Homo-oligomer: A and B are copies of this chain.
C-alpha cells in the first residue's frame, strides 16, 4: 500500500489519531557511536537518516505532522526540532528531567486529552527499526481503530524468533476478541518479566508468548480511566499534570514531575490493566538492542560481512564494521563487531556485545570523557 493510499485512508478515519514518539532514551549499548549527549535515536545506524527521523517518516501519510508529538527531556528539544522540522514546536513535549516512560506518557496523554478526550494516541519508541513499513502502517491504522472503537489499550506483540531473555513477554494464548481493519485482536492473558533462558525456551516452544514491543495505542480517556482503576498512585500525578497544562507554569511541572514514580509504563500500568488487546507485530521489528542485532539489517558481502565504510578483508567472515571515516582492513577474523569513531575504537566478539554496557560503566570511572 503506497503512502498516498494510506493518506486517503487516514483522512477518512472517523477519529482523532495522534502519534507520540518516545524520544527520551539514553542507551549506552551503541557505544562508541552513542554517547550521553548523542543517544541511539539520534544516530544514523541503518539508513541515511537517524532512527527518530525514520520513526517519524514511518507514520507520514497516516497521521498529519500536526498530530505527531515527541516526549523527551527539555535539553533534547533543540536536536529534535532540527531533525523533525515538520512537527510543530508546541508538540515537542519537554520533560523537566528523565523519569522513565510512565511520566513521559502521562504528560503526552494529558496534552492530547486536553485537545480531545476521545483522541487515540499511538506510542512509538524513537529508536526501533521496522523493516516492513507498509505492513506496519496497515496494522497501526487497524490497531488505532480498535483502540478507538473497543476502548481498550492495544499492544503489539512480536512473534519471537529466538529465546531472548532481554524482553518482557506478553502471554496471549490466542483468544480472538475482534477483527478490525483486516487485523485480529487477541485478549492478553498476562505479562511476564524478562525470563531466564529455560523459561524463554518454553515460551518460544509454546507459541503462546510474544515479545513486548513497547508499541501501545490508547484513547486519552481510556488511559485516564485505566490509571484511575489500575494505577491510583499515578492518577493523582495525572490530575496534577492536567492542572499544570491548563495553567502553563513550568516551575510547577518540575515539582509535579519529580513526584511521579520513575517507572516504566509497562510496569506501572500496562501489566496491571485487565482487558488489554494484542495484535501480532509481524512487520520486521527490532529494538536494535545491541550492535549484533544490526547485522541482519545491513547489506552484506559474499563473506557475510556487513560494512559501513571503506573495507578490505582477507579470510574474514561474519563481521560487522562501522567506520564512516577510516579504512578498515581485517585479516583472518570472524564474528567481530568493529566500530571506529573519531576518538574511540570498539572491537567486540558478536556473542559478547551485551558487555558493551559494562564497558561503558568501566569507562565512566576510568575515562569519562569517552562516555
Which residues of A approach B to under 8 Å, CB–CB?
A: 31-32, 310, 312, 314-315, 323, 326-333, 336, 338, 340, 343-349, 351-353, 355-356, 358-359, 362-363, 366-367, 370
Contacts and interface: CB of A to CB of B under 8 A. Distances in A.
A345 B332 contact: no
A367 B366 CA distance: 37
Given A312-B367, A333-B347, 12 more contacts: A312-B363, A314-B355, A314-B358, A314-B362, A326-B345, A327-B370, A329-B344, A329-B347, A330-B347, A338-B345, A338-B347, A345-B345
A355 B332 contact: yes
B356 A331 contact: yes
Contact of A359 (B314, B323, B359, B366): B314
Contacts of A347: 328-331, 333, 336, 338, 347
Contacts of A343: 326-327
How many copies of this chain are found per oligomer? 2
A363 B314 CA distance: 11
B349 A333 contact: yes
11 contacts: A315-B355, A327-B343, A327-B344, A328-B344, A328-B347, A329-B347, A329-B363, A331-B356, A332-B355, A333-B347, A338-B347
Interface of A (DSSP majority class): mixed
A367 B309 CA distance: 13
Nearest to A356: B331
Given A359-B314, A363-B312, A331 B349 contact: yes
A346 B331 contact: yes
Contacts of A326: 343-345
Query: When A and B form their complex, which 10 residue pairs have the shortest distance between CB atoms, in order from nearest?
Result: A332-B352, A332-B349, A331-B348, A327-B344, A329-B346, A331-B355, A328-B345, A330-B347, A331-B352, A314-B355
Contacts of A359: 312, 314, 329, 331
